[in-house]
């Protein structure tokens, strides 16, 4: 059974989806009407952790995660979790992290499919020139997330 919660955040409404005791999706906006709206303990924890993140009090998420994707996408997302709070990496650097230095474009596509933005921090990946590039929530949200982290990073 899938459950969802909708929370207000500084980047607009977020829909959180839980399945089998783990957070599986975070979607920008209020979507997923077909999924039961329910306040489970896990979804309450996820909302609390996201609120703490937005207020600068949380740098690492502890809510159980289970993002669904291909083995390559899973590799990309594991590498994202290794990028420290308040720091950025390029797609090329992320490709090196997964052991495939020539796969920067493929890494970009893997990041684009990330079902758990913010918690799996694809916003921390920038272009080779240091500029912001695509983000599912929009570049304005990516910029806001990076600014939040920079302001709260020692």
Active site residues: 122
Pairing relationship of beta strands 14-19 and 22-28 according to DSSP bridges = antiparallel
CB atoms within 10 A of CB 18: 26
CA-to-CA distance for 30 and 15, rounded, in angstroms?
Answer: 6
């Amino acid at each position: 059974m899938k459950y969802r919660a909708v929370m207000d955040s500084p980047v607009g409404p977020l829909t959180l989806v839980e399945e089998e005791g783990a957070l599986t999706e975070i979607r920008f906006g209020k979507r997923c009407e077909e999924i039961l709206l329910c306040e489970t303990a896990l979804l309450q924890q996820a909302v609390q952790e996201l609120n703490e993140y937005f207020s600068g009090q949380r740098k690492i998420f502890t809510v159980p995660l289970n993002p669904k994707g291909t083995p390559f996408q899973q590799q990309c997302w594991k590498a994202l979790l290794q990028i420290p709070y308040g720091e950025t990496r390029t797609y090329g650097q992320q490709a090196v992290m997964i052991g495939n230095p020539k796969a920067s474009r493929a890494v970009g596509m893997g990041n684009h499919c990330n079902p758990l933005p913010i918690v799996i921090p694809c916003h921390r990946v920038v272009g080779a020139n240091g500029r912001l590039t695509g983000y599912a929530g929009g570049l304005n949200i990516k910029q806001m997330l990076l600014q939040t982290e920079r302001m709260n990073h020692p």
